[in-house]
């Protein structure tokens, strides 16, 4: 039980003493999650928009598939990406295996269903008067698209926070695709898994505190963004 | 006589097997102010949506400036605008809402134009410009939506029950704004309203609809 | 909004691109979790090899089964494992070559201080038979690791079938320390490598609830070998670097350093390269 308090205090110690291993892990986590969030959003928002906005044959089936992918276990995603990036795989030899960009690819696959499903929902839930309002104000099809995405911006921001939470806390992908290599692909979560596996529970808690600190910073920034979005 | 701005010819609108509108001929000429009257369900809103090039008639022709035009978002919508009964405001400030159409057309001098449009609908620009879309009463929202359309100086302004949520004073303001649009920019207006008194004061002539057909003109 | 996205992307790309750019020569190694957990690689091998040759070893610590599979998939250039039977199988397959024994330590059977099954001092075969007969709880790694394979071979050597379905035989599917902790929770026995036991004892302030009861039996011998990935099997394998590593591991200086390596004040490995 006392590893909880020990770990809690140790977490702050790691952050404020600038422990190099901890900061290397923070850097790895920030790098991978930033890349994957960028791609999840730039690919996912347009796809989600398309899925929510247009009617087409098979729309319901596609929607169901996307919703089911929300439950994709991270270890399985990790295995899938590993299968592609391994030497003999289709993308072998790209040097992406055991690298942060490789991890980001897997994490993008994790975040995409969340962004797509929630954006589609947001777009579907938009006021039915929006399209004709935009049309009657003279907006071109591209302008209608952009304005519609803007109308859904609060829900999309929520989707981004949900995807970020899932991405930054996952272990399966980072472990399998990254390899937990010290100084290179050891993220905060794989470090937690390692320490816990070694029985170093206090260290596991400490790193958990570090991860929450990183997430807190991101959330503060996002709140600032939300305030700006209302202007 | 010059080409009518909007023309309907043998136009029928059918929804779920029921014919809701049947107009053999209707011309909107430049500078006309036409009132639309009739009981609920008489087809006023349906007609306005067709005139706004938002809904395509089931049969018959719909022309803009003499040429048959489709309802796909295009040039016609930069000239013809519709104010629906319960207008939708974008999730932005009042200023941004009124400015939207101007931004879409890449117009300049937006601040002045928005300022003037707000004054025209009786909203003080100082206190209203930075209000959020959710900080408005029904009547204020309706006036913001009207300002957003007046500011575009459209060829045709269509309005569905524009004074529904307004008091007498504001209704008078709207009448003045509508007449000013015709005087300043030769805007044509087609206005549907239950308020026959107000309609009479603003329109050149009134079309009475019943069960989708014109029964009387005055 | 756009500014934040730009910042995020710049950050991410900087991380992603600078890291490979800074790397000099790199040797990809697969090794086992128990090897990595001793700290031998982090504290001695990796830094010293970098100093002596300028080559950086990047190692992934996984179960033996996975390490060998990764070699077969050509994801690594060299493996450092301790599972002779599996090593032979992969050499027969032509995946691994240049097997070089570099050091050994031993396994021990540990159990509660009170030793309810009474196996202290027995040889391995007797001890396992006794544990089975008394249905004393026994925790197994159950994860196809080198340690796990060794444990399974001990049951066979004692003339018994692996007690797969028996309730007292607990297959944890986890690393050595968690498995020891589970054995302790059940007041039972387990087989562990000496290195992990030293750590476990240290974690418990020198007074662990589970102690060494069976040791020294020849079957508990734990031989570590380095094997290079066959360049004929994996054309991109950095065979030259792998050979350099193997030669370096077997060199007198390195062997001496390995012999002097202490884990929490106790010597752990006995160098035996020829």
At least 3 CB pairs under 8 A between chains C and B? no
Residue B217: pLDDT band (50, 70, 90) is confident
| Residue among A53, A122, A137, A227 with most chain B CBs within 10 A, to mutate | A137
Which of these, A208, A207, A49, lies nearest to A124 by C-alpha position? A49
Residues 6+ positions from A57 with CB-CB distance below 8 Å = none
- Once rounded to an integer, what is the mean pLDDT over residues B174-194? 91
Which of these, B121, B158, B120, B160, lies nearest to B140 by C-alpha position? B121
Residue C26 CA to residue C238 CA, distance in Å, equals: 9
- CA distance to A83, A104, C152, C181, C240, per residue, from A97 (Å): 10, 11, 32, 33, 21
Average pLDDT of chain B is: 91
pLDDT the model gives residue A145: 86
Phi and psi at A42, nearest 5°, equal: -70, -30
- Once rounded to an integer, what is the mean pLDDT over residues B108-123? 93
Residue A29 CA to residue C247 CA, distance in Å, equals: 36
- How does strand B59-64 pair with strand B205-210? unpaired
Measured N-to-C along each axis, helices C84-92 and C146-157 cross at an angle, to the nearest 10 degrees, of 110
Contact call for A31 and C178, based on CB within 8 A: no
> In this structure, what token pair is assigned to residue B133?
């879309």
Residues with pLDDT less than 70, chain C:
1-9, 11-23
pLDDT the model gives residue B57: 92
- How does strand C78-81 pair with strand C25-32? parallel
Residue A139 CA to residue B76 CA, distance in Å, equals: 11
Cβ-based neighbour number of residue B27 at 10 Å: 15
Taking the CA atoms of residue C188, residue C194, residue C200 and residue C201 in that order, the dihedral angle to the nearest 10 degrees is 100
Q: In what order do the strands lie in the sheet with B6-15?
A: B18-28, B6-15, B59-64, B67-68
pLDDT the model gives residue A74: 95
Residue A206 CA to residue A5 CA, distance in Å, equals: 9
Phi and psi at A95, nearest 5°, equal: 75, 15
Q: Per-residue pLDDT for B124 more than 60?
A: yes
pLDDT the model gives residue A61: 94
> In this structure, what token pair is assigned to residue B48?
């306005």
* Residue matched to tokens 């418990």: C204
DSSP C221-247: EEEEEEEEEPTTT-TT--HHHHHHHHH
* pLDDT tens digit sequence for B18-50: 889 998 889 999 999 999 999 988 899 999 999
Residue C249 CA to residue B137 CA, distance in Å, equals: 81
Contacts of A34 in chain C (CB under 8 A): 8-9, 11-12, 15
- For C236, nearest residue in chain A (alpha carbons): A93
Average pLDDT of chain A is: 91
Structure-model confidence comparison of residues A85 and A229, the more confident one: A85
SS3 C213: strand
pLDDT the model gives residue B167: 85
SS3 C21: helix
Which of these, C69, C61, C77, C98, lies nearest to C27 by C-alpha position? C77
Q: Which range in B61-70, B162-171, C31-40, C96-105 is most confidently predicted, on average pLDDT? A: C96-105
Which of these, A32, A31, A44, lies nearest to A74 by C-alpha position? A32
H/E stretch holding C156: helix C146-157
DSSP chain B: -PPPSEEEEEEEEEETTEEEEEEEEEEE-TT-EEEEE-STTSSHHHHHHHHTTSS--SEEEEEETTEE--SSSSGGGGTEEEE-SSPPPPSSBHHHHHHHHHHHTT-S-HHHHHHHHHHHTT--HHHHTT-BGGG--HHHHHHHHHHHHHTT--SEEEEESTTTT--HHHHHHHHHHHHHHHHHH--EEEEE-S-HHHHHHH-SEEEEEETTEEEEE-
User: Which of B81, B91, B105 has the CB atom closest to A136's CB atom?
Assistant: B81
Residue C78 CA to residue C27 CA, distance in Å, equals: 8
- Once rounded to an integer, what is the mean pLDDT over residues A183-191? 93
Q: Check: CB of residue C176 under 8 Å from CB of residue C192.
A: yes
Q: Which range in A2-11, A88-97, B116-125, B166-175 is most confidently predicted, on average pLDDT? A: B116-125
Global ipTM: 0.92
Contact call for C174 and A99, based on CB within 8 A: no
Answer whether A227 touches B (CB < 8 Å).
no
Q: Per-residue pLDDT for B72 more than 80?
A: yes
Which of these, B141, B46, B134, B45, lies nearest to B92 by C-alpha position? B134
Which of these, C249, C265, C273, lies nearest to C46 by C-alpha position? C249
Answer whether A58 touches B (CB < 8 Å).
no
Contact call for A88 and C73, based on CB within 8 A: yes
pLDDT the model gives residue B84: 92
Chain C residues at the A interface, defined by Cβ less than 8 Å, are: 1, 4-5, 8-9, 11-16, 19-20, 28, 33, 37, 42, 58-61, 73-75, 174-175, 177-178, 180-181, 199-200, 203, 234, 236
Contact call for C74 and A27, based on CB within 8 A: no
Q: Check: CB of residue C226 under 8 Å from CB of residue C100.
A: yes
H/E stretch holding C129: helix C124-134
Q: Give, in degrees to the nearest 5, the angle at Cα A182 between A89 and A166.
A: 70
Residue C218 CA to residue A95 CA, distance in Å, equals: 43
Which of these, B43, B127, B138, B154, lies nearest to B87 by C-alpha position? B138
Q: Check: CB of residue B87 under 8 Å from CB of residue B98.
A: no
- For A86, nearest residue in chain C (alpha carbons): C75
H/E stretch holding A118: helix A100-124
Cβ-based neighbour number of residue A196 at 10 Å: 19
Q: Check: CB of residue C31 under 8 Å from CB of residue C195.
A: no
Contacts of A144 in chain B (CB under 8 A): 73
Q: Give, in degrees to the nearest 5, the angle at Cα B9 between B5 and B10.
A: 160
- CA distance to A54, A55, A113, A114, A145, per residue, from A60 (Å): 11, 9, 15, 17, 22
* pLDDT tens digit sequence for B126-137: 999 999 999 998
Structure-model confidence comparison of residues A229 and A217, the more confident one: A217
Our CA-based measurement puts residue C174 at a distance from the nearest CA of chain A, in whole angstroms, of 8
pLDDT the model gives residue B1: 54
- For A144, nearest residue in chain B (alpha carbons): B73
* pLDDT tens digit sequence for A76-108: 999 999 999 987 788 877 889 899 999 999 999
pLDDT the model gives residue C15: 62
SS3 A174: helix
Contact call for A137 and B52, based on CB within 8 A: no
Contacts of A102 in chain C (CB under 8 A): none
Answer whether B100 touches A (CB < 8 Å).
yes
pLDDT the model gives residue C18: 55
What are the beta bridge partners of residue C26? C56
- Once rounded to an integer, what is the mean pLDDT over residues B7-23? 89
- How does strand B188-192 pair with strand B156-160? parallel
């Amino acid at each position: 039980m006392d590893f909880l308090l020990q770990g809690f205090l140790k977490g702050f110690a790691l952050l404020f003493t600038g422990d190099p291993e901890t900061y290397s892990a923070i850097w790895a986590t920030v790098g991978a999650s930033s890349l994957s969030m960028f791609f999840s959003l730039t690919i996912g928002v347009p796809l989600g928009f398309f899925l929510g906005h247009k009617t087409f044959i098979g729309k319901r089936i596609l929607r169901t598939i996307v919703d089911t992918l929300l439950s994709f276990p991270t270890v399985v995603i990790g295995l899938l990406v590993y299968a592609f990036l391994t030497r003999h795989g289709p993308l072998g030899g790209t040097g992406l295996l055991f690298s942060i960009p490789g991890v980001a690819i897997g994490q993008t696959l994790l975040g995409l269903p969340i962004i797509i499903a929630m954006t589609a929902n947001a777009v579907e839930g938009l006021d039915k008067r929006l399209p004709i309002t935009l049309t009657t104000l003279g907006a071109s099809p591209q302008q209608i698209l952009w304005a519609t995405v803007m109308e859904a911006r609060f829900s999309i921001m929520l989707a981004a926070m949900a995807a970020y939470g899932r991405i930054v806390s996952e272990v399966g992908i980072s472990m399998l695709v990254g390899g937990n290599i010290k100084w290179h692909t050891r993220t905060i979560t794989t470090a937690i898994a390692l320490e816990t596996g070694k029985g170093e529970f206090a260290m596991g808690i400490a790193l958990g505190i570090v991860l929450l600190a990183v997430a807190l910073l991101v959330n503060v920034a996002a709140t600032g963004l939300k305030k700006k979005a209302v202007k | 006589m010059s080409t009518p701005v909007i023309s309907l010819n043998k136009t029928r609108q059918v929804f779920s097997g029921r014919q809701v509108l049947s107009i053999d001929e209707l011309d909107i000429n430049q500078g006309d102010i036409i009132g639309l009257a009739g009981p609920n369900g008489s087809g006023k809103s349906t007609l306005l949506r067709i005139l706004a090039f938002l809904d395509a008639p089931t049969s018959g022709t719909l022309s803009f400036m003499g040429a048959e035009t489709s309802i796909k978002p295009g040039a016609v919508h930069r000239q013809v605008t519709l104010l629906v009964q319960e207008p939708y405001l974008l999730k932005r400030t009042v200023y941004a809402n009124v400015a939207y159409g101007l931004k879409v057309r890449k117009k300049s001098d937006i601040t002045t134009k928005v300022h003037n449009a707000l004054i025209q609908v009786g909203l003080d620009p100082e206190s209203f410009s930075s209000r959020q879309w959710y900080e408005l009463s029904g009547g204020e929202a309706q006036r913001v939506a009207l300002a957003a359309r007046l500011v575009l100086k459209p060829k045709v302004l269509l309005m569905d029950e524009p004074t529904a949520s307004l008091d007498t004073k504001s209704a008078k303001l709207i009448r003045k704004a509508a007449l000013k649009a015709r005087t300043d920019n030769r805007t044509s207006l087609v206005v549907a309203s239950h308020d026959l008194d107000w309609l009479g004061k603003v329109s050149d002539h009134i079309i009475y609809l019943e069960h989708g057909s014109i029964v009387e003109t005055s | 909004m756009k500014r934040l996205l730009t910042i995020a992307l710049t950050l991410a790309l900087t991380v992603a691109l600078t890291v490979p750019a800074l790397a000099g020569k790199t040797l990809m190694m697969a090794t086992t979790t128990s090897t990595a957990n001793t700290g031998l690689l982090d504290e001695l091998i990796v830094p010293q090899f970098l100093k002596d040759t300028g080559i950086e070893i990047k190692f992934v610590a996984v179960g033996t089964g996975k390490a060998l599979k990764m070699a077969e998939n050509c994801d690594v250039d060299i493996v450092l494992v301790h599972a002779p039977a599996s090593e032979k199988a992969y050499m027969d397959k032509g995946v691994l070559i240049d097997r070089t024994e570099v050091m050994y330590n031993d396994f021990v059977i540990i159990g509660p201080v009170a030793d309810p099954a009474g196996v202290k001092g027995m040889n391995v075969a007797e001890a396992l038979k006794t544990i089975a007969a008394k249905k004393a709880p026994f925790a197994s790694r159950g994860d196809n690791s080198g340690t796990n394979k060794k444990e399974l071979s001990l049951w066979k050597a004692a003339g018994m079938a692996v007690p797969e379905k028996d309730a007292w035989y607990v297959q944890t599917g986890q690393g050595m320390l968690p498995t020891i902790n589970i054995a302790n929770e059940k007041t039972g026995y387990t087989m562990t490598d000496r290195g992990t036991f030293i750590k476990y004892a240290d974690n418990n302030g020198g007074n662990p609830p589970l102690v060494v009861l069976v040791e020294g039996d020849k079957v508990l011998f734990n031989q570590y070998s380095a094997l290079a990935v066959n360049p004929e099997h994996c054309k991109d394998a950095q065979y030259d670097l792998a050979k350099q590593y193997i030669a370096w591991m077997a060199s007198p200086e390195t062997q001496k350093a390995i012999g002097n390596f202490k884990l929490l004040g106790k010597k752990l490995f006995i160098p035996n390269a020829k």
